[in-house]
Amino acid sequence: MNTNNLLSIAQAFAFDAPVLDIAPLGEGFINDTYVVRTEKSRYILQRKNHNVFPDVPAMMSNIARVTAHLKAKVVAAGGDPEREVLTVIPTCEGALYHCEGENFWAASLYIEGSVTHDVADTPRLAYMGGRGIGRFQAMLADFDEPLKEVIKGFHNIRWRFEQWDRSLAEDCAGRKAEVATEIEWIERRRAQMLAFWELVERGILPTRVTHNDTKLSNILFDERDEVLCVIDLDTVMSSTSLNDFGDAIRSYANTGAEDDRDLSRVGMNIETFRHYTEGYLSERGATMTRSEREWLAFSALYITYEQTLRFLMDYIDGDTYYKTAYAEHNLVRARAQHKLLESMEAQYDQMQAIVRELL
Ligand code: GN1
Ligand code: MG
């Protein structure tokens, strides 16, 4: 994207002063993100990936409603709503997004003084992260209007299997034969994972407002490791809140990288699991149902399995969903997630024991 185009897009938004400069930020897998600097403030400008998000207006409406609810809670508690909750910046015409050709753009306030982490390298950070997501969910417990389903069946493994079966049948990149071992990892656990999702379908696990993408890098911390603000609200929808616990464990407790080529580095650190769980339950423990408590530990396996499937499926599809840095990137990611899953399976009894002990 050239600077002149970016500048004209930025000028569509109701920023507080003329734009000075625009610089790319981070390496998200889905959207393109920039920091916009004006004479007075900084902002985040994002091009939303319409291949992933077919209905950006619905997505932005979910985000606007959820952030309004959160802001009211933060104000009531005497906090700072512009630092503790994402602030959507409308366009000069008052819309939540700007269209330019086939692209949708959205903007938010940059939260100054915030810190992000790639690794949960201290017990305190894991504990605080758990507490932050627990509080995020607690503040949304009384948000009872339905949210729009912006990505169909996002953490619904029954739907993922429909996509998976179609990908295998089409084998459009001709890669299926090469990943027979990896396909077997998915097939072997199919029934077990469907059985979990069935609990959601039957209402045994309740539906709540969920973030659905709670990896460590989607949380802003302050310099004392307190969670300042939960960001990347693109996938806020109604689902089981266990998704948010499971996805956080997948990211915080991994001793390696999500795309580690060296599988000997990948595994679940049970102490990080303990600290995150302790923080999470300190905010959510009291309001969880019996079945949510029972399935809490399993949700980490479920989400890690689903992520293995999604990376592998994207490899089989010829890399159409996630941004990749090299040819086998999605396959490397799938293998690393599978290694993490095996490590969780080996420690599942301990995970269960920790949850019971902390409740
Ligand atoms: C994507 O948007 P980002 O980079 O935070 C993905 C998540 C995956 C994650 C894996 C909309 O998250 O579901 O867990 O990559 N988001 C979407 O790191 O598919
Ligand atoms: Mg995201």
CATH code for position 178: 3.90.1200.10
> How sure is the predictor about 4, in pLDDT bands with cuts at 50, 70 and 90?
confident
- Domain-terminating residue out of 109, 135, 150: 109
Q: Are 52 and 30 in contact (CB under 8 A)?
A: yes
Asked whether residue 34 carries a pLDDT value surpassing 80, the answer given is yes
Which atom of ligand 1 is closest in space to residue 151's alpha carbon? 11
Q: Are 118 and 216 in contact (CB under 8 A)?
A: yes
Q: Which domain, by its residues, includes 272? A: 123-358
> How sure is the predictor about 1, in pLDDT bands with cuts at 50, 70 and 90?
confident
Shared domain for 65 and 131, answered yes or no, is no
What is the predicted pLDDT for the residue at 284? 96
Shared domain for 286 and 311, answered yes or no, is yes
What is the distance in A from the centroid of ligand 2 to the CA of 214? 9
329 lines ligand 1 (CB under 6 A): no
Would 156 be classed as within a structural domain?
Answer: yes
What is the distance in A from the centroid of ligand 1 to the CA of 18? 32
pLDDT digits (tens, 9 = 90+) for 252-264: 999 999 999 999 9
- Pick the closest to residue 99 from 31, 23, 34, 13 (CA basis): 13
At position 295, the amino acid (one-letter code) is W
What is the predicted pLDDT for the residue at 145? 84
232 lines ligand 1 (CB under 6 A): yes
What is the predicted pLDDT for the residue at 28? 83
Q: How many structural domains does the chain have?
A: 2
- Domain-terminating residue out of 84, 109, 134: 109
Q: Are 307 and 248 in contact (CB under 8 A)?
A: no
What is the predicted pLDDT for the residue at 194? 98
Q: How much is the mean pLDDT over the chain?
A: 97
Asked whether residue 311 carries a pLDDT value surpassing 90, the answer given is yes
pLDDT digits (tens, 9 = 90+) for 314-342: 999 999 999 999 999 999 999 999 999 99
- Domain-terminating residue out of 109, 142, 165: 109
pTM here is 0.97
CATH number at residue 90: 3.30.200.20
Shared domain for 81 and 164, answered yes or no, is no
What is the predicted pLDDT for the residue at 300? 99
What is the predicted pLDDT for the residue at 27? 74
Asked whether residue 124 carries a pLDDT value surpassing 80, the answer given is yes
Would you put residue 229 in left (φ > 0), alpha (ψ -120 to 50) or beta?
A: beta
Q: How far is C-alpha 24 from the chain's CA centre?
A: 20
- Residue 268 CA to residue 272 CA, distance in Å, equals 8
Query: 54: which residues sit within 8 A by CB, 6+ positions away?
Result: none
What is the predicted pLDDT for the residue at 356? 97
> How sure is the predictor about 3, in pLDDT bands with cuts at 50, 70 and 90?
confident
Asked whether residue 181 carries a pLDDT value surpassing 80, the answer given is yes
Shared domain for 325 and 247, answered yes or no, is yes
What is the distance in A from the centroid of ligand 2 to the CA of 11? 25
- Residue 255 CA to residue 230 CA, distance in Å, equals 23
Shared domain for 211 and 350, answered yes or no, is yes
Shared domain for 269 and 313, answered yes or no, is yes
Q: Across-strand partners of 227?
A: 221
Query: What are the angstrom distances between the C-alpha of 343 and each of 52, 193, 216, 293?
Result: 30, 17, 19, 21
What is the predicted pLDDT for the residue at 159? 98
pLDDT digits (tens, 9 = 90+) for 249-298: 999 999 999 999 999 999 999 999 999 999 999 999 999 999 999 999 99
Give, for ligand 1, the residue of 25, 27, 29 to mutate: max count of ligand atoms closer than 8 Å to Cβ. 29
What is the distance in A from the centroid of ligand 1 to the CA of 175? 23
Shared domain for 64 and 192, answered yes or no, is no
Phi and psi angles of residue 326, each rounded to the nearest 5 degrees, phi first: -155, 170
Q: Whose CA is nearest to atom 2 of ligand 1?
A: 30
257 lines ligand 1 (CB under 6 A): no
Shared domain for 33 and 152, answered yes or no, is no
Q: Are 225 and 124 in contact (CB under 8 A)?
A: yes
What is the distance in A from the centroid of ligand 1 to the CA of 63? 17
258 lines ligand 1 (CB under 6 A): yes
Q: Tell me the mean pLDDT in the region 228-241.
A: 97
Shared domain for 53 and 93, answered yes or no, is yes
Would 135 be classed as within a structural domain?
Answer: yes
What is the distance in A from the centroid of ligand 1 to the CA of 342? 21
Which atom of ligand 1 is closest in space to residue 49's alpha carbon? 11
